[in-house]
Structure 1
Amino acid sequence: MARVSDAKQRLMDAANDLMWESSYASTSVDAICERAGVKKGSFYHFFESKSDLSVAALEADWQMKKPDLDAIFSPTVPPIERFERYFKRALNKQTALQDKTGNVLGCPLFTLGAEVSTLDQAIRAKVEEILGEHVKYLTSAVRDAQAGDLIRPGNAGEKARTIFTCYQGTMMLARIQNDLEPLRRLTDQVFDMLGVGSGAINA
């Protein structure tokens, strides 16, 4: 695989960070270039627009995170533990961000998607694509948990989407309240919803 230019990677990293910390609208090309330490002319060498950069940055960030999710949702990991690891990963990330920035930032995909989904179809489509990949991971865990009689039967895809909606709603609430407590309660709430017994959790 060809190596991504260091300047291009810094621009994508800066865009992701700035839009997550504040908003898409308030993040200018100048601010991205300043954070990245890249001249504006170089920006337009790599990207036609801020929208073009945003789509590329989302994809690059997803490719970086995917191996971690592959490990969390590996079939070798017990299905109930996969949920626990997924939610713990989010809590740990948000805790680190709060320590660094003073704020709970929530999910960058939902933050960006909610802001620009009616204004920029390229960004909306990329956000929707990546969110769909998260649901696929959750669906596999639901199916395996059902196969082991660890959670209630039913449509695995619908259950996974419900879990993801609960997860993302909790992330957004944590951002709004600037409080990690909703995320600390998330695992117990999802397990209660799924009908996970203590035996399954401790297995």
Structure 2
Amino acid sequence: MRIIGGLHRGRRLVAPAGATTRPTADRVRQALFDMLWHAPWGGREAIEGAVVLDAFAGTGALGLEALSRGAASAHFIENDRAALAALRANIAACDEAARCRVLAGDATKPPRAPQPCTLVFLDPPYARRAAAAAPGLLEQALAALAAAGWIAPGALVSAEYGTPPEAPPPGFALLATRAHGAAHLSVMRAGPPA
């Protein structure tokens, strides 16, 4: 696993052993950032200067990829100890500690945001999503993050699912969906606060 583009292109990232953390594959990350960069609803301004939230961060690959491509800063939320160690090692390897904030915690119960984020990545564990009570884990996290002020009005939100939803969660407009093997990406735009 490596950074695909930008300042840190080619930088190798570490991941914890085992199946607890499932990093987004390089090819899926490339497809996502190509979509963000080239779609009519995206563009350079969607990434460059963005305040990023990487929830269910795991190794931090999505947030670090955004920083490599010009994002201003990134917040990472992760609760697994092994993933947190890998995340911190990856931030250090990219020499990005000054632009990163790591929060050890649950994305479904986040603290109040220090600032709203304009680009949000959510990649919850597929197995937990399937087993979670309704609403699903991703939907719970989106609602909690929005309520805690993490998601700016108009923010782009990229969500990775094992099984795509039939409709976007309330308060979000679906912009695009793509399937890449077992990964299903949905990109949404956050509406104004309720």
Verify same fold: TM over 0.5. Answer: no
Structure with higher strand content? 2
Larger relative contact order (CA 8 Å, sep ≥ 6) = 1
